[in-house]
Amino acid sequence: MTEEKKGDTWERLKRKYKLSLHNVDTYEEVFNMRLSPMWVLVVSSTVAVILVLLTILLIVFTGLREFIPGYPDENMRTMITGNALRADSLGQEIARRDHYLRAIQKVLRGEDYDIVASRNDSLHRNYDTIQFNLSQQESEFRTTIEEKERFNLVLGGYSDNHTNNQTKGYYHFFAPVEGLVSREFDDKAGHYGLDLVAKADSRVSAVMAGVVVFTDWTIRTGNVIQVQHANNLLSIYKHNSVLLKKQGDYVREGEAIAVVGNTGELSSGPHLHFELWRAGTPMNPMNFIVFK
């Protein structure tokens, strides 16, 4: 019986019927069509699928999607993107500020600034593997600078009388500037550094990697920048014309931090006054760095 019912249903679906239209007044047949329930079902399904596809295409590729409740319009998407960028910038700024505050706290407590090494390792991990395509001009410029400054990185031992009992370690120091020594270190006379005569507007380099802890202008010494290094080492650079770094910046050895100038009442010409301190004790830079 079940198979018979299924057969009857299939036959009914295939059975054709006549659809006709008549004039009400004259009863004249105006239009007629022969069709089956199967044909009506197939045509209806095809039309429905086409309508659904057209609706989806209109929503995806036209502005009609903005009229759908809950869908963000162009202004809202722009605002969301802007807020995401601002949140990312704020996160980076907070991280830099936290790093700066930790550096200042360690300096004020007189502790060894181990965060320099960790920051250096972080920079190596994050940036030193990036590959850039160098132009010919940049390659030639780098070759010239490396050939010119390759002998500035010297190995010096602590032979200063004030520090022999404090450490027996060795450090690599980068020459702060290419110039001549016009006045040497003399702690008895209160001259706690070297005066290095150099060309005006020449670069001043950091002698070691560290964090900038002071940048300011004073009447007597002009533009001054101080860099805190590991093991309680502090380098000071005075009489600069321009300071290229600000407080909290991390600098590597040999990186340009200022420009040689003639600022301050104690300056009588373009030169750099360079001081090197360890744990509050001045050291003679000539014991660690080879100058001309």
What pLDDT was estimated at residue 166? Answer: 41
Neighbouring residues of 139: CB distance < 8 A, sequence distance ≥ 6 = none
What torsion do the CA atoms of 51, 52, 54, 58 make, to the nearest 10 degrees? 130
Burial class (CB in 10 A: 0-12, 13-18, 19+), 140: exposed
Closest CA to 198 of 249, 152, 248, 155: 152
Each residue's pLDDT tens digit, 127-150: 444 455 667 777 777 777 766 654
What pLDDT was estimated at residue 124? Answer: 47
CA gap 211, 113 in Å, rounded = 9
Query: For each of the chain's 292 residues, which pLDDT tens digit applies?
Result: 566 666 677 777 778 877 788 888 887 888 888 878 888 888 899 999 999 999 888 877 876 666 666 666 667 777 888 888 888 888 888 888 888 888 887 777 776 555 445 554 554 444 444 455 667 777 777 777 766 654 443 333 333 444 444 443 456 788 999 889 999 999 888 899 999 999 888 999 999 999 999 999 999 999 999 999 988 899 999 999 999 999 999 999 999 999 999 998 888 889 999 999 998 899 999 988 888 6
Closest CA to 200 of 146, 149, 276, 267: 267
Query: Fold for domain 136-287?
Result: Glucose Permease (Domain IIA) (2.70.70)
Give the pTM: 0.44
What pLDDT was estimated at residue 269? Answer: 86
